[in-house]
Amino acid sequence: MAKAGRASGGQRPLLEARNIVKTIGTGAGELQILKGVSMDLVPGELTLLMGPSGSGKTTLLSILGCILTATSGELHLAGHQAVGLSSEALAEIRRLHVGFVFQSYNLFPTLTAVENVLVALDVRDARSADPIQTATEALKAVGLGHRINT
Ligand SMILES: Nc1ncnc2c1ncn2[C@@H]1O[C@H](COP(=O)(O)OP(=O)(O)OP(=O)(O)O)[C@@H](O)[C@H]1O
Ligand SMILES: [Mg+2]
């Protein structure tokens, strides 16, 4: 199984995973991908997830990010216990509390960077009085000020 490492210590966890098990298939075809993973994610810390190909990193990240649900275990995230929730309830947690930076990013290619951020604000129902300004500031904050209209 992949190992999660921590860069520094201190605060209360934002996310607590306990004994996360993920099994797919049934009977002779059953495969246990995660065999009881426990870990915390703490605000302000950098956590690295490392392991050989096929060790379950993507599966674990998908469960921690509420894309998949675990077969058993507990996942405490933003005041919710996420294991066993419906896909609608998981989508609500993702919408409000989770951000992904995908290796192959899932942007709308025909929209500009600002327009892509505006879509995300709409999904969160978080358009401000000046949404373009909000989106522009968000892009500048992550060093993408030069890509705003591309
Ligand atoms: N939906 C699925 N159906 C069948 N097998 C799956 C499924 N999802 C994951 N697996 C298997 O579970 C194991 C872990 O997969 P996972 O993609 O989580 O590994 P990984 O550590 O992310 O690998 P990589 O470093 O190659 O990205 C692999 O053996 C994979 O084939
Ligand atoms: Mg992977």
Q: What is the whole-number distance in angstroms between the Cα of residue 147 and the centre of ligand 1?
A: 34
In a domain, 58, yes or no: yes
Tell me which residues have their CB closer than 6 angstroms to ligand 1: 2, 24, 31, 33, 51, 53-59
User: Is 129 within the bounds of a domain?
Assistant: yes
* Structure confidence at residue 50 (pLDDT): 94
User: Are 86 and 122 in a shared domain?
Assistant: no
Which pLDDT score is estimated for 2?
56
Q: What pLDDT does residue 29 have?
A: 93
Residues 89 and 22 in one domain: yes
* Domain identity same for 93 and 44: yes
Domain hosting 77: range is 3-97
Residues 29 and 64 in one domain: yes
Alpha-carbon distance 77 to 105, whole Å? Answer: 24
> What is the residue-level pLDDT of the chain in tens, covering all 150 positions?
555 555 555 678 999 999 999 999 999 999 999 999 999 999 989 999 999 999 999 999 999 999 999 999 999 998 899 999 999 999 999 988 998 887 777 889 999 999 999 998 888 877 788 999 999 999 999 999 999 888
* Together in a domain, 131 and 87: no
Q: Choose one of 59, 63, 103 to mutate for the ligand 1 pocket test, by most ligand atoms within 8 angstroms of C-beta.
A: 59
Determine, yes or no, domain membership for 118: yes
Q: Ligand 2 center to residue 44 CA distance, Å?
A: 24
At 10 the pLDDT is 63
Region at 10 (left for phi over 0; alpha for psi -120 to 50; beta for the rest) = left
pLDDT of 101: 80
In ligand 1, the atom with minimum distance to the C-alpha of 60 is 18
- What total number of domains does the chain contain? 2
**Are the CB atoms for 132 and 116 separated by under 8 Å?**
no
Whether residue 65 is found in the same domain as residue 135: no
